Structure 1
Amino acid sequence: MNLVSRYIIRQMAVMAVYALLAFLALYSFFEIINEAGNLGRGGYNAWTMTQYVLLQMPARAYELMPLGVLIGGLIALSQLAAGSELTVMKASGLSTKKLLLILSQFGLIFAVATAALGEWVAPSLSQRAENLKASAIHGKISTGASGLWLKEQNNIINVREMLPDHTLLGIKIWQHNDRYELVEAAEADSAVLNADGSWQLENVRRSALSDNQVSVSEQAQLQWPVALKSSLLDVLLVNPDQMSVSELTAYITHLENNRQQTQTYAIAWWRKLMYPVAAWVMALVAFAFTPQNTRHGNMGLKLFGGICLGLAFHFAGRLFGFTSQLYGIPPFLAGILPTAIFALLAVYLIRRQEKR
């Protein structure tokens, strides 16, 4: 990598980081406003809210990375063009092909950062944030490798997981008396939530303890009265956008084995797979919208158009996801179309720009 390459990449990277930090600050501000309504609920205070917002930042950075690359690249290249530095570089022998190679290296750096955030950092921290919030608001709740633990009156309940249709799997219930002595233990393969708040347990095995014996019984179905809100269990239902590719792969296989709908998670899988590529594509889009000749006074207009295009890409993924579910479009198309469309647009604009 020569001096010119390092200079261009450094200028674009700095501007991309600045743009990303600005968007993170804006998103954090709106998130604080949104979370302010929960202050005072249970143990949810200002410090807990701050922790929640900070833990969500890597996920926000992951979502905004392509937009930051585009806007940072646009600003940096526009500054180079305004100072005639691009013109001097081209006059010194820097061809468009070499410049695109430099931009590809810049995009690759942020593509790797995007993949690392989405696969290892953001999912675990987002889950910790949701657990922290749920524990503070509702109390007596914890999650881990064994699922969700709840305490309700004299019952200690463990739920291993919850499917997208809110079916509970792996239910274990321990009931104690007022002296905290175990009086009954129950285990069920699954459960569904009734409208009255009770749980309809399936394939139940119960062990009732008395002074002298343990009575064991089995029932195909059992209605268990539980005074818990169903929203409390939503902490088990992880948002697909907060899952890594490996977690989505395992979960899609699990849902298929249980004959559950997988389209939402399949769309998220394809989006996760293509999102690092989108960061690379945005570096090319930035070049396509950079004015090569500043004498025509179109720099501000092209910069504004590029920013609008980046915002359109940011929301296009969600739009394509909803459209796919609504009209039955294959998940891989919903996942790759936004990135593919913007890649083709960048190639078209660059070729058009070079013909002038």
Structure 2
Amino acid sequence: MRLLNRYVISQLSICTIYALLALISLYSFFDIMGEISHVGDGRYTADKMLFYVLLLIPTHAYELMPLAVLVGALVCLNQMASHSEFTVIRTSGISLASIIGMMLQFGLMFAIIAALLGEYVVPKTGPYAEQYQLHARQNTISAGDSGIWLKQGQDIVNVAEMLPDGSLKDISIYRHDDQFHLSETLHAASANVDVHTQAGKQTKWHLHQVDQSILQAHQIVVNHLENVDWHMSINHQLLNILLVAPEQMSIIALSTYIKHLKNNHQQIIRYELAWWRKIAYPLACIVMALVALAFTPQQNRRGNMGLKLFYGICLGLFFHFSGRLFGFTSQLYGVPTPVAAFLPTLLFLGLAVYLIRRQEKR
């Protein structure tokens, strides 16, 4: 029994890895097609574009893991059925409960891999990939742990944080003279970017609670200003690099950021939904393993086999995109975030249990 268990799980794992590699290759091809038109912007060369695409692979692996588990398991189990291995397993006295146990172990293994990717790898590679691309394409912009740094003429600007509503926090502006000697500093507690008021390519920033320091020959003049309007020739969309996608944050980081947003009276639904999805998403690998078992034909009929394989893959694609659909319903219609996060997985679990029981009765 232990030898059979190892054999089945190893075959399932090999097929799943192949499926994951195929899906990642497909997504990477689409990434290259989307980025190739930007090659030549600033210092964005073909080598840097390929490195950026490589940095996106962990994110794709995490997002595609349940789909890869389903496709890999479907292919493996259908191959076993076509070679009569599945029939031999059943007729040799192996119960359905034992087979389900094998599928649960297989799904749990990839669920752990998905959880580790989502908690430790994607939160590092995802934001770094976006920062790397931005820095390569925009010579006057760089991003790091201290926020985003911008250069406009003789001014150097640092923005520490961007909140979900588009407002900025902790803005520091360093102005220099023609000899590039520091002449003035401004520090604003917050700012709002007026995206509708533009002069050419310039966007107006409304700075609030500003501390101004003017460096003169023998003294420093310090002023406190309630509001200052300041023009910046940086497109507002470029500042979105500061707003890390909640899907690229770890559970611990999401918990901290949700608390931070509550203190700033910001909307937290999107981040709460991402927190619950981080919990529910690895479980989808286990459910997809059961769905694959439900779509495995019990008899060696190739027409039936190919049809079930097709239906199973279509179902996996539907699950892959249904998570976003339920996320939108949570934000639009006020569906509780735990329900929106777990409902797709629970629905597919119920479908898998129903189909397995129906198939067993036949």
**Which range, TM-score by smaller chain?**
over 0.9
Deviation above 3 Å: which 4+ runs of structure 1? none
CA deviation map 1:127-186 (0-9, x unaligned): 111011100111132222211111111111111100011100011111111111111111
Alpha-carbon distance change, 296 to 166 in structure 1, aligned in 2, over 3 angstroms: closer
Structure 1: 5+ residue runs without aligned partners?
none
SS in 2 for 1:40: coil
CA deviation map 1:8-60 (0-9, x unaligned): 00100000000110111111111111111211111111111101100000000
RMSD: 1.2
Distance in 1 of aligned mates of 2:344 and 2:263: 30
Distance in 1 of aligned mates of 2:328 and 2:37: 28
TM-score under structure 2 length normalisation: 0.96
Q: Within the alignment, does 1:183 sit opposite 2:183 as a pair?
A: yes
Q: Which residue of 1 aligns with 2:312?
A: 306
Q: Which residue of 2 aligns with 1:234?
A: 240
Q: Which residue of 2 aligns with 1:11?
A: 11
How far the C-alpha of 1:103 sits from its partner, in A, is 0.6
Contact 1:206 1:216 in 2 (8 A): yes
Q: Which residue of 1 aligns with 2:217?
A: 211
Distance in 2 of aligned mates of 1:95 and 1:324: 41
- Tell me the amino acid that sits aligned with residue 284 of structure 1: L
Q: Within the alignment, does 1:92 sit opposite 2:95 as a pair?
A: no
Structure 2: 5+ residue runs without aligned partners?
none
How far the C-alpha of 1:296 sits from its partner, in A, is 7.4
Distance in 2 of aligned mates of 1:297 and 1:199: 64
Contact 1:161 1:169 in 2 (8 A): yes
Contact 1:138 1:232 in 2 (8 A): no
TM-score under structure 1 length normalisation: 0.98
- Tell me the amino acid that sits aligned with residue 157 of structure 1: V
Contact 2:59 2:126 in 1 (8 A): yes
2:352 aligned residue (334, 346, 351): 346
- Tell me the amino acid that sits aligned with residue 138 of structure 1: Q
SS in 2 for 1:189: strand
Alignment of 1:112-261 (within 5 A): 112-194=112-194, 195-196=197-198, 197-261=203-267
- Tell me the amino acid that sits aligned with residue 116 of structure 2: A
Q: Which residue of 1 aligns with 2:80?
A: 80
Q: Within the alignment, does 1:322 sit opposite 2:328 as a pair?
A: yes
SS in 2 for 1:225: strand
Aligned-residue identity in percent: 52
How far the C-alpha of 1:340 sits from its partner, in A, is 0.8
Q: Which residue of 2 aligns with 1:273?
A: 279
Alpha-carbon distance change, 296 to 171 in structure 1, aligned in 2, over 3 angstroms: closer
SS in 1 for 2:43: coil
